[in-house]
């Protein structure tokens, strides 16, 4: 088969069937059971005669690695996705989350967006590469991995430790970006070039224990309450990482958004107020997250019995920090927020700084060309996500990872964001095939 004779109708049907079947495999994490998804993909690759293996990091924790070999003249490319999904509240869904039901033009199920659809786009990309006999100067490796939703320790983190190849990719294409916003004259695709660091702290408060019948000033529960209030009300200083300036430049062609963004650049301290004018709530949240550190209390524990003042209690705080910020710096910031609170200590639960890939890398030009070929109104813009993906394990001085699962969102970005990890997650068949077309061209552009 040559590239001109690819029957895209057949590709759409195949991709739809595969995605529907893949969604029927329950890979809710915990416990994950990704091995079932890995075996499903293995059968497809075996059938197509594509080299592949299942790598198990632990019982039931399957990772699938498939490969189309190139000449090896250049370092390999990795197409990444994860097999596991977050839990679904079945009673809140219109169709059962593990039905893979095809309703009209859409495929429904937990993972339809995050991120089994990307796994199927990548699978079809490998199949098309094989079928069209494209000569490659790099290996194209696909990895569908375990455990992304719980931190990746049984998935990408494990592969980076145990498979040296995972530290040698030049470019990684992963989830986390690629969503296209439909605007009046252009469609703006957001490519994830970095992610904020996640710093999780436990703050422990100490006080004098005693009988609940006698009030005391040094009751640690009171210190805990004041601290949560202070963290919740805190507005961190607005900062403009370099990538945000590129983000803002990227929208200069949009008559409605550009003036708002110009105001933001002029008066960053008024960010919250200025961004009220943004036409889309999802867009506003995205931008706010990119310009300051956040501190969100999420867990509170303290006290055993109603008539006993405890000697100790704690809260846990999820902090997301911008590129350039350090863990020590965040701890100091928390100490400033809690100024005046007596007797507390801060413990690190798990902390990582932000990760970023240079948006000037040659692959970005290839992303742009592939997008414009299939969507002439396309523009590509970099952003940093507030949430973490497995890309953080792969970004190093030599590996550039981008979140780029191309998907045009008609309507609200907020509505789209709500489906990810929310109810009634689904994807249109045409979006699935659009993603395959763009990805196939990217891989050819970069590797052929």
Residues 400-419 that bind Zn ion (CB under 5 A): none
- Maximum Cα–Cα distance for the chain, whole Å? 84
Residue with Cβ nearer Zn ion (139 or 175)? 175
Tokens (6 digits) for 412 = 């609200």
Are the C-beta atoms of 238 and 232 separated by less than 8 Å? no
Nearer to Zn ion, 112 or 330 (CB): 112
Distance (Å, whole) CA 357 – CA 242: 12
Q: Which is nearer to Zn ion, 357 or 391 (CB)?
A: 391
Closest separation in Å from C-beta 175 to Zn ion: 5
Binding-site size, Zn ion (CB under 5 A): 3
In the chain, what is the straight-line distance between the N-terminal and C-terminal CA atoms, in Å? 16
Instruction: By CB under 5 A, tell whether 222 contacts Zn ion.
Output: no
CA 55 from chain centre, in angstroms, equals 23
Which sign, positive or negative, has the C-alpha torsion 180, 182, 188, 193? negative
Alpha-carbon distance of 30 to 37, in angstroms, equals 14
For residue 375, give every residue at least 6 positions away whose Cβ sits within 8 Å of its Cβ, in sequence order, or none. Answer: 180, 187, 408, 434
**For Zn ion, which is the closer residue by CB, 238 or 420?**
420
**Minimal distance, residue 30 CB to Zn ion, in Å:** 15
- By CB under 5 A, which span of 89-97, 107-115, 160-168, 367-375 interacts with Zn ion? 107-115
* 114 vs 147 by CB, closer to Zn ion: 114
Q: Which of 114, 139, 325, 356 binds Zn ion (CB under 5 A)?
A: 114
Proportion of the chain in helix, strand, coil states, percent, rounded to 5: 40, 25, 35
CB nearer to Zn ion: give 32 or 241: 32
Compare residues 61 and 183 and give the one whose CB is closer to Zn ion: 61
Cβ nearer to Zn ion, comparing 110 with 444 = 110
SS3 366: helix
In the complex, what is the shortest distance from the CB of residue 284 to Zn ion, in angstroms, rounded to a whole number? 23
Nearest-approach distance from CB 114 to Zn ion, in angstroms: 4
Q: Report the residue number, 175 or 375, with the smaller CB distance to Zn ion.
A: 175
Q: Which positions ≥6 away from 196 have C-beta within 8 Å?
A: 289, 320, 321, 322, 323, 354, 384, 385, 386, 388
Stretch that binds Zn ion, among 14-22, 87-95, 111-119, 328-336 (CB under 5 A): 111-119
Closest by CA to 123, choosing from 189, 37, 58, 56, is 37
* Only segment of 28-36, 58-66, 110-118, 364-372 that touches Zn ion (CB under 5 A): 110-118
Distance (Å, whole) CA 231 – CA 150 = 25
- Per CB under 5 A, the segment of 108-116, 211-219, 239-247, 410-418 that binds Zn ion is 108-116
Q: Which helix (H) or strand (E) holds 136?
A: none
In 132-256, where does DSSP find H-type helix? 156-162, 220-233, 242-250
Stretch that binds Zn ion, among 109-117, 122-130, 275-283, 424-432 (CB under 5 A): 109-117
Give min distance, CB of 186 to Zn ion, in A.
27
Here's the x/- map for Zn ion, 152-181, by CB under 5 A: it reads as -----------------------x------
| DSSP strand pairing (187-195 vs 378-385) | parallel
Q: How many CB atoms lie within 10 A of CB 350?
A: 9
115 near Zn ion (CB under 5 A): yes
Q: How far is the CB of 115 from Zn ion (least distance, A)?
A: 4
- Minimum CB separation from Zn ion for residue 129, in Å? 24
- 441 near Zn ion, judged by CB under 5 A: no
Residues that bind Zn ion in the complex, under the rule CB under 5 A: 114-115, 175
């Amino acid at each position: 088969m040559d590239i001109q004779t690819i029957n895209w109708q057949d590709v759409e049907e195949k991709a739809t069937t595969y995605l529907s079947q893949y969604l029927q495999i329950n890979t809710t994490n915990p416990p994950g059971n990704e091995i079932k998804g890995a075996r499903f993909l293995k059968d497809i690759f075996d059938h197509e005669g594509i080299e592949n293996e299942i790598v198990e990091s632990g019982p039931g924790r399957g990772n699938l690695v498939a490969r189309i070999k190139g000449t090896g003249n250049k370092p390999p490319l990795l197409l990444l996705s994860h097999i596991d999904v977050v839990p679904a509240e079945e009673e809140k869904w219109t169709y059962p989350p593990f039905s893979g039901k095809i309703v009209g033009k859409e495929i429904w199920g937990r993972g339809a967006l995050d991120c089994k659809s990307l796994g199927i786009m990548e699978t079809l990309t490998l199949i098309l590469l094989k079928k069209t006999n494209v000569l490659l100067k790099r290996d194209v490796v696909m990895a569908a991995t375990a455990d992304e939703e719980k931190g990746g320790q049984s998935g990408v983190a494990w592969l980076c430790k145990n498979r040296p190849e995972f530290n040698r990719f030049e470019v990684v294409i992963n989830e986390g970006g690629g969503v296209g916003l439909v605007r009046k004259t252009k469609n703006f695709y957001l490519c994830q070039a970095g992610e904020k660091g996640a710093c999780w702290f436990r703050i422990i408060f100490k006080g004098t224990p005693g009988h609940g019948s006698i009030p005391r000033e040094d009751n640690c529960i009171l210190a805990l309450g004041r601290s949560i209030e202070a963290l919740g009300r805190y507005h961190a200083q607005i900062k403009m990482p370099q990538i945000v300036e590129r983000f803002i430049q990227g929208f200069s062609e949009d008559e409605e958004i550009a003036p708002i963004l110009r105001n933001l650049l002029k008066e960053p301290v008024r960010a919250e107020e200025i961004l009220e004018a943004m036409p889309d709530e999802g867009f506003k949240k995205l931008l706010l997250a990119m310009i300051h550190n956040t501190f969100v209390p999420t867990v509170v524990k303290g006290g055993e019995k109603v008539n006993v003042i405890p000697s100790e209690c704690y809260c846990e705080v999820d902090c997301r920090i911008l590129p350039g910020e350090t863990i020590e710096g965040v701890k100091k910031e928390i100490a400033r927020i809690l100024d005046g609170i007596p007797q507390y200590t801060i413990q690190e639960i798990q902390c990582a700084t932000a990760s970023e890939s240079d948006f000037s890398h040659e692959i970005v030009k290839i992303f742009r060309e592939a997008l414009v070929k299939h969507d002439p109104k396309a523009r590509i813009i970099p952003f940093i996500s507030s949430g973490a993906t497995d890309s953080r394990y792969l970004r190093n001085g030599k590996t550039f990872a981008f979140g780029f699962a191309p998907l045009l969102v008609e309507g609200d970005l907020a509505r789209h964001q709500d489906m990810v990890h929310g109810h009634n997650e689904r994807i249109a068949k045409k979006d699935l095939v659009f993603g395959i077309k763009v990805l196939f061209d990217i891989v050819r552009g970069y590797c052929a």
